[in-house]
Structure 1
Amino acid sequence: MDLQLSVFLLFILFTAGHSLSCYECMSLTGSCAGQKVKTCPSGYSQCMSTTAVAQAGDITSKVKAKDCAVACQSGSINFGISKVSSSCCNTDQCNAQDAPDPSNIPNGKKCFSCDGQTCSNILGCSGTEDRCIKATGTFGGQSLVVKGCASKSICDATSVSDVESFSCCEGNLCNGAQSVTQSVLFLCCSLLSYFLMH
C-alpha cells in the first residue's frame, strides 16, 4: 500500500509542474523557419499551427503562425478573399509541422460569399469545407457581414469574440444572398484572429 501511495505522490509531483510547450512563430513571408519553443501560460492546453492565404487582385500573400491555444479547431474556413487552415494538437511541441495550405481541390459544395458590396457571389468550397458560414458584427456603428465555406469542426466552435451572430448550415447556398454596403475586412479579421488564437 505504501508503494502505491508513493508512486501516486511522485506522479502528482512530476505532472503538477508540467506546462505544455509549443512552437511559436508569426511569418508574413510564408515560412516559419525561425520558430522557437515557448512554455504555454496556465490554461493553454493545445498547440496550434495555421496557414492563411489572402488574395487581393493579382497579389497573393501567405501567413503562417504557431502558438499555444486555449482551444483550437482543426479545419479550414474560406471567405473567398481569404482562406485559413488550422491544425491543433495537445502534446509538447506537437505543432512542429506547418498547417497545410488551404486546399484548392473543389468538393462540389457551393456557398454565398461577400465582396464588400454584395453577398450574392457564389464560392466553390474545397477540401473539408462541408458547411456554409454566415457571421455578422458591428464595427464603428456599421453592420458587417461575411459569408463563405467552413469545415464542420470550425462550425462546432461555441463562440466567436467580436461577432454578434455566427451560424453554419448544410446544403448548397444555404447561407442566403443579401446586399451589404460596408467593408467586410474588419469582420474577416475578427473571425480569422479568433480561429488563429483560440
Structure 2
Amino acid sequence: MDLQISVFLLFILFTAGHSLRCYECMSLTGSCADQKLKTCPSGSSQCMSLTTVAQFGDNSVKVKIKDCVPACLSGSMNFGIIKVTISCCNSDQCNLQDAPDPNPNGKKCYYCDGKSCSKTVSCSGNEDHCIKATETSGGQSAVGKGCASKSMCDATASVPGVARISCCEGNLCNGAQSVSQSFLFLCCSLLSYFLLH
C-alpha cells in the first residue's frame, strides 16, 4: 500500500510541475524569424501555427501566428482571395515549423471575388470539400465560397454570426450563382471564429 501511495505522489509531483511550452510570434511580413518560446498559461493544452495569405489585386499579405491555445483544429480553407492554414499539436515546442503550404490536389471549387461567385479556385492538401457561407445583415447578403478540409467543415456547422454554412464533396459543387456584398466581412468572421474558439 505504501508503494502505491509513493508512486501516486511522485506522479502528481512530476506532472503538476510540467506546463506546455510553445513558440510564440505574430508576423505581418510572412516570417516568424523572431519567435520566442513561452510557457503556456493554465488552460492552454495545444500549440498552434497559423498562416493566412490574403490577395488584394496585385498585392498579397502573409500573416503568421504561433501561440498557445486552449483548443485547436488542424485544417485549411481557401476562399480564393484569403487562404488560412492551421496546424495544431500538443507536445513541447511542437509548433516550431510554420503551418504547411500544401500542394494542389486537383479539386476545384467556386469562390467569390466581391463581384461574382463564378471564378474557380484550386484546392490543396486535405481540402476535400467545397464550402459556401452566407450571412444576412441589414437586408444585405454576403456570400463566401471556396475549398475547405473536412475538419473545417465539421467545425463550422455552428459559427455564430453566420446564417448558413454548407459543405459538399465533388468538383464545383458549391454553385456559381450569388453575388457577394460584403465578402471580406464574412471571411473575417470565419477567421476570427477559428482563432478564438
Tell me if TM exceeds 0.5. yes
Aligned to 1:20: 20
Aligned to 1:127: 125
Q: Which runs of 5+ in 1 are unaligned?
A: none
Q: Which runs of 5+ in 2 are unaligned?
A: none
Aligned to 2:76: 76
CA displacement 1:84-116 (0-9 Å, x = unmatched) = 212110112211111123x3x332212111111
Opposite residue 92 of structure 1, the aligned amino acid is D
Q: Distance in 1 between matches of 2:71 and 2:80?
A: 25
SS at 1:13 equivalent: helix
Counting only pairs closer than 5 Å after superposition, residues 29-178 of structure 1 correspond to structure 2 as: 29-101=29-101, 103=102, 105-138=103-136, 142-157=140-155, 159-178=158-177
**CA-atom RMSD in angstroms:** 2.0
Q: Distance in 1 between matches of 2:92 and 2:138?
A: 41
After TM superposition, give the deviation of residue 181 of structure 1 in Å.
Answer: 4.5
Opposite residue 146 of structure 2, the aligned amino acid is G
Query: CA, structure 1 residues 18+172, in 2 after alignment: closer, same or farther (shift >3 Å)?
Result: same
SS at 1:4 equivalent: helix
SS at 1:5 equivalent: helix
Opposite residue 171 of structure 1, the aligned amino acid is G
Identical positions, percent? 76
CA contact (8 A) 1:139 1:186 kept: no
Query: CA, structure 1 residues 135+126, in 2 after alignment: closer, same or farther (shift >3 Å)?
Result: same
Q: Distance in 2 between matches of 1:41 and 1:177?
A: 45
